[in-house]
Chain A
Amino acid sequence: MKDARRLKNRIRKLNAPARQSEQGREIASGADASPLAAVLLEVDETMLPRRLVFSRGDARLSLSAGNRRLIGIEHAEGSAEAPAKPLMGVSLTRPDVALLGRLRDALTTALAGSEPIFVRTEPAADGQVDFAAGTTAQALASAWGVDLSADAGPPDAPDEAGGLDMFLTTAPSLARAWVRLSSGGIADTGGDPATLGRLQAFAGSADMANIDMVPASGSNRFVAIGRSPDDGDCLLFVSAGLEAALLMIPAETLDQAKKTWQDAVR
């Protein structure tokens, strides 16, 4: 389960010898240390809006991140900054294939070398919070074939929530707001505050209890409720075992969300 993996990674960091410097915390070392995995693991653990300053040798790379998403490249300097410069300030929300390729090239080139990779966390340059901005670290890892679990110890055994995790990490840049439920309680939230408030209120309603009792397909449920296929937002409830999520998504993206869900649980 992804949350367990994240927790293990956090404990591993806490147990590691403290090697702090003005460059920050050492996150990877050795010539074979993957800059992509190092960057994406840090982004994946960044919930609040932050600037992450990575350094390796004389190279510096500043990224904006939040809500486990890479939002953009803010600054690059050093011997291999060239591929990153044109991407500074470029939105990474729903990047196309070409942009994903350029971004991968920029990250690997900017942080190439054999020195250790360090990261320092700073407050976000922009106080604005846009929870839908950027692309999740998990989606980028999936697109680039990076196994984030490899850096965090042995992979976890597959479990019932695997499909739900996959769905929640690859699909809902679609979601305006989401609530993650675990064993009946709210485990995590995100998105537009007003929409999120309505979702949280609904999560405690009798309707929610009824929807949670909809007969499952295998051990999974996908229930979408809205006005019409192209009108406003629709409520989406997905569950696997004791894990579940409520999302509000634009109605016109429902077919896409359904297909993503089916692919994730198949």
Chain B
Amino acid sequence: MIGSLAASRPDGARLALGLGCLGALALPFVSVRASRIGAPEPRTLVEILPPGRLLAVLALSAAVLLALVLLRAPWARVLLSLLALAGVLAGIGLAAGPLAAEAGPYARVAPGAGAWTLLALLALFFTEAASRLALGPAARLGLGLVILAGLAALLASDLLAPLSIMVEYRNRAASFRSEAAQHLLLAGGSFAAAMVVGVPLGLLAARRARLAPPLLGALTAIQTVPSMAMFGLMILPLGWLAAHAPPAAALGIRGIGAAPALLALFLYALLPIVGHTREGLRGVPGAILESADAMGLDARQRLWRVEIPLALPVLLTGARIVLVQNIGLATVGALIGAGGFGVFVFQGLGQTAADLVLLGALPPVALAMLAALLMDALIACVPGPAR
């Protein structure tokens, strides 16, 4: 244990990351604007901190970076990089408080280029060390949840409250919650619908060799439509449907809103699900299917007890792609009035308020990462040989 903690010859990649972090310390740590759409004025650590504290911060940073470069035990680097990330986030908050107070009631403080670079490089330190740990999917999910809990605790404390993005959040707390729910509805609803339709379609494509090329071809064509165009395209047919079919209109189907966004996300989701379902089913070895028949399983028993379970890891891999993809794409739905986190992105773009854009962009990223970890853990639960 002591031996694995001991320093060794520095790893080239980690050394480069460490030097990058050192350089980032010299970049503007935060930026201050007189108002939320004002021009940013960068502030370096040298400008923010009194000399004594600056020295302490630099010494601590150098020690942590040296340890991240030299420590041999991956778990120690995982722990240290997480602590460093939390430290940088806390540092941003600590720096923002006095600066905001001093610059006036409308002033905004946001992380600067240096802080973003530090966060990114430390995240790379973390992923490098975490990948060396070679954790199983369940452990990865566990670690992800721990990090998420830590992040939630940090957000719940007042430490980050002075930051501009948090001000944007506080001004929209109610609509943030409803747009979050709407985002989950868009991504989850289209995912569920695509599973219900896509898995049987994949089964059909696996069974009927002649059907597969045209079906997969059509779905591939859909996949190539740019998302902005796709969401726009959905307005026309659904608008026409709403105008000419009163029952559809009564269900809330209109040319703009959730319905066309759900339809667009659903269409994008079909190719990965149909394709993976087909590949999963085709990958079941012939000897196993022959055994199933010879043992007297009927067609339905063969499908549910043998084919689907054996295709499940591949099928779930398709589902994982779709879930992550839909959580990201649902952001675009706001363009046609579907709601979701995209609302803040487009509002922010319209108001040139970068922190509002971030408020809409960061939550889907976190959600997508969580969904990927969840699906990986689910895939690992499928019994049988490791695939």
Q: Does A associate with B in a complex?
A: no
